Amino acid sequence: MRICIVAEGSYPYVTGGVSSWIQTLITNMPEHEFIIFAIGAQEKMRGKFKYKLPDNLIEVREVFLDSYISEIGEPGKEFRLDEDQKRVIKSLLNRDQTDWNLLFSLFRSRKMSSISNFIMSRDLFDIIHELCLERYSQIPFTELFWSVRSMLLPLFWLLKNPVPEADLYHSVSTGYAGMVAAYGKYLYKRPYLLTEHGIYTREREEEIIKSDWIKGYFKDLWIQYFYSLSHCAYSNTNQVISLFNKNKEIQAEIGCREDKITIIPNGVNPEDFSNLPQKGAEEAAYVNVGAVVRVVPIKDIKTMIQSFSIVKKTVSQARFYIFGPYEEDPEYYEECLQLLESLGAEDIYFTGSVNIKEYIGRMDILVLSSISEGQPLALLEGMACGKPFVSTDVGSCKELLYGVNDGIGSAGIIVPVMHYVEMAEAIIRLAENPNLCYEMGANGLERVKQIYTREKFIQQYKQIYESMRSLQWQELVSS
């Protein structure tokens, strides 16, 4: 079977998390051929892959959302949209349900020969003008016009890029990736599977609320737009995979039919993390605290740094290592370095990208300070190493560390998001109690062995793919 995985802002340009999950899935299913439809933000990322591509990955189709800049449009052209076509574009911007099949058919038609021309057309101008009169009459029209253009351009650009033909479309989020997978289903009458690691819509909503580049009165418009994209994914997918129950509840709350949702947790191979290098005699006097994490704002490295500066005052022999790339957001990395300097914090090391297996066995305690997560592989891998965790209460972290009526004890300590004092107190508690560290580490390893193995994860996806193979023929017959 040929499977097209649609990924936005992750594989194969970014390491860890969803990207590692995709690499694992493809590598462990040599019986299938895979195509990656990779949606990136900037053309400059083209070809800059962070992974050795598996042999059964036959194509990476790269599409970048800034590529439309190279197109020059002709202002004022008329596309002669009918009333239904105008209504479906307008529905992306208000609270109406979007008829996605109608929108897809519009962008398949000859009318949409040029996105640059359409984005500068009289038709779109009139649609935005109507929206302004109905909902934003107190706002300067020019502000609304440019905001809506910037919102719709990436979507329209993706709709004009060819979607490769496949037997199954599998997106790893809603958003633009979910829309492209739904479009593939529409074009080729093949089934669509959605695996949602985090809740994309809620993550975008949080970013928009905190942003300073979107004016307050447009934030609701942007949030509604991303909810429209999630509706596209949820309404068109044949099945939704959630990683844990809390996410399943949120998906149902924001519009996914509950009978579509199945829970399949991530998994790791515990044997991959056995017999790793441990602390040597020269490190015996130190308490090594580590974080396997990308240095980006959503991972909240600053809270981690503030926390450790407090830990160091009580546990003088503590050392802190941040394992992960810092090139993704150089400005944020620089802010972290400035925070280190302002705090006068010592023994905090940014290692950059490393082979984590060479270091993680030497850690006594692992930390995760994220603002948002799904089911983090970094946490599962640390548990597979028998290491206790201090983690923020995001995604499935509480479920992973505390369990759900599985008879296994705690594998770490959960603290609130952005509470660096409570995080510091938890690290100090573990640092001063080696027996507790050992006990929690053993609990984490046992929980992984019983519930979160790669073997179970892959086997469940093989069964899902096989069920989609039979559904594929049903799709063809019904069409």
For the domain that residue 6 is a member of, what is the CATH number? 3.40.50.2000
Q: Is residue 77 part of a domain?
A: no
Residues 298-331 as b/e (b if ≥16 CB within 10 A, e otherwise) read: bbbbbbbbbbbbbbbeebeebbbbbbbbbeebee
**Could you tell me the maximum CA-CA distance found in the chain, to the nearest angstrom?**
77
Statement to judge: residues 425 and 462 lie in one domain: no
Statement to judge: residues 48 and 196 lie in one domain: yes
Q: For the whole model, what pTM was predicted? A: 0.86
Under DSSP, the state recorded for 268 is B
Give the pairing type, strands 261-263 and 239-242. parallel
Cα torsion angle, 431, 279, 270, 29, sign: positive
Is the pLDDT at 453 greater than 90, yes or no? Answer: yes
Statement to judge: residues 343 and 447 lie in one domain: yes
C-alpha span between 379 and 299 (Å, rounded): 13
Statement to judge: residues 179 and 256 lie in one domain: yes
Statement to judge: residues 259 and 283 lie in one domain: no
Statement to judge: residues 189 and 311 lie in one domain: no
Q: Which residue has the tokens 């809390």?
A: 246
pLDDT digits (tens, 9 = 90+) for 122-166: 989 999 999 888 888 888 888 888 888 888 989 999 998 899 999
CB-CB contact of 478 with 470 (8 Å): no
Give the pLDDT band (50/70/90) at residue 474: low
CA angle 85, 474, 258 (to 5 degrees): 70
pLDDT digits (tens, 9 = 90+) for 291-346: 999 999 989 999 999 999 999 999 999 999 999 999 989 999 999 999 999 999 88
Statement to judge: residues 169 and 311 lie in one domain: no
Statement to judge: residues 180 and 251 lie in one domain: yes
Q: Which amino acid is at 463?
A: Q
Q: Is residue 302 part of a domain?
A: yes
Statement to judge: residues 241 and 281 lie in one domain: no
Q: Is 241 strand, coil or helix?
A: strand
Residue 442 domain boundaries = 270-452
Is the pLDDT at 213 greater than 90, yes or no? Answer: no
Closest C-alpha among 18, 66, 12, 55 to residue 33 = 55
Backbone phi and psi for residue 178, each to the nearest 5 degrees, phi listed first: -65, -40
Statement to judge: residues 258 and 309 lie in one domain: no
Average pLDDT over residues 391-402: 95
C-alpha span between 383 and 402 (Å, rounded): 12
CB-CB contact of 337 with 359 (8 Å): no
C-alpha span between 240 and 263 (Å, rounded): 8
C-alpha span between 34 and 53 (Å, rounded): 11
State which of 94, 124, 150 marks the end of a domain: 150
Q: Is 459 strand, coil or helix?
A: helix
Average pLDDT over residues 365-389: 94
C-alpha span between 87 and 202 (Å, rounded): 26
State which of 120, 150, 180 marks the end of a domain: 150
CB-CB contact of 29 with 61 (8 Å): no
Statement to judge: residues 102 and 229 lie in one domain: no
State which of 130, 150, 170 marks the end of a domain: 150
263: enclosing H helix or E strand? strand 261-263
Q: Is 344 strand, coil or helix?
A: coil
CA angle 274, 280, 282 (to 5 degrees): 160
Statement to judge: residues 178 and 290 lie in one domain: no
Please tell me the number of Cα atoms within 13 Å of 352 on its side-chain side: 2
pLDDT digits (tens, 9 = 90+) for 69-111: 666 667 777 888 999 999 999 999 887 789 999 999 999 988 8
Q: Is residue 15 part of a domain?
A: yes
Burial class (CB in 10 A: 0-12, 13-18, 19+), 133: exposed
What are the start-end ranges of the H helices in 109-215? 115-119, 122-135, 141-159, 175-188, 200-210
318: enclosing H helix or E strand? strand 318-323
C-alpha span between 279 and 288 (Å, rounded): 9
Q: Is residue 434 part of a domain?
A: yes
Residues 14-44 as b/e (b if ≥16 CB within 10 A, e otherwise) read: bbbbbbbbbbbbbbbbeebbbbbbbbbeeee
Average pLDDT over residues 272-291: 92
Tell me what the pLDDT averaged over the chain comes to: 92
Q: Is residue 69 part of a domain?
A: no
Split into its structural domains, the chain has a count of 3
Q: Is residue 76 part of a domain?
A: no
Q: Is residue 72 part of a domain?
A: no
Tell me, what's the pLDDT at 72? Answer: 67
Query: Other C-beta atoms within 10 Å of 154: how many?
Result: 19
Q: Is residue 301 part of a domain?
A: yes
CB-CB contact of 96 with 86 (8 Å): no
Percent of the chain with pLDDT over 70: 97
C-alpha span between 31 and 458 (Å, rounded): 13
Tell me, what's the pLDDT at 472? Answer: 64
